[in-house]
Amino acid sequence: MADSNENQAHARATLEARLGYVFETRELLEQALTHRSAAPDHNERLEFLGDGVLNFVIAAALFEQCVDAPEGDLSRLRAALVRERTLAVIADEIELGQAIVLGPGEMRNGSRRRVSILADGVEALLGAIYCEGGFDAARKVIMHLYAQRLATLPSAASLKDSKTRLQEWLQARARNRPEYELVSVTGADHCQHFVSRCTLVDTGAAVEGEGGGRRKAEQDAARRMLETLETDPDTDNAATKDTPQ
């Protein structure tokens, strides 16, 4: 038990050092790090609060930094910065996983590395910092965590999904929107594999895409179609069937 307490204390000290913030109210830190599987006083309410604070701070930072960007570009950039995957990477950077308190079942399942739990934990920490230190303290930590990301923003265009980019490519040439059709669904319920077809209405050209869900399959099909059109726009004069291997 002593070793466990020492390890936990070390993990929290490391976490606070990476955050650049030391909690005065240790109970608040405890709650922020407690998953719902471990205790009734868990971090979900703090997560809700932290999500709101994070979205506002990032929105304000982008508004000030990207002075000529339209609303759509700002929304895409913000979504990329606050999405679950990005938050999970931040969790790794601050070594949050070792400090999270999980119930026995989640511990056995290896949930300490689960992306959703890590992302929720980051938001809960931000909510706890807001509760203890106020908005300025939370903003300071967020800007510290996002300094490099804000300094190296991707282009907003690169963040558009494939279906949007394909539709814009076609609209710019006064062409009809593509149609999507579900071709097949295979596999067990928990690991289904989808194949969808993207068809250009004016020429009948078609390609197929695949993925772990219908939306992912449609996005893959749109990506394949766009790659074909951008490589050789004349290749869509005849219908094709590009079935995934």
Query: Which residues belong to the active site?
Result: 51, 123
Q: C-alpha angle 99/53/121, rounded to 5°?
A: 20
From the number of C-beta atoms within 10 Å of its C-beta (0-12, 13-18, 19+), residue 68 rates as exposed
Tokens (6 digits) for 181: 């059709």
For tokens 């979504």, what's the residue? 79
Distance, CA of 16 to CA of 14 (rounded, Å): 6
* Pick from 46, 28, 13, 31: nearest CA to 132: 28
Dihedrals phi, psi of 117, to nearest 5 degrees = -70, -40
Is 77 exposed, middle or buried (CB count within 10 Å of its CB: 0-12, 13-18, 19+)?
buried
Sheet holding 179-186, edge to edge: 179-186, 193-199, 206-211, 241-242
CA distance readout (Å), 29 to 34, 49, 121, 123, 124: 9, 14, 11, 12, 9
Distance (Å, whole) CA 4 – CA 11:
10
The DSSP secondary structure of 30-45, one letter per residue, reads HHHTB-TTT-SS-SHH
Ligand-binding annotation for 47, yes or no, is yes
Binding site feature residues for Mg(2+):
47, 120, 123
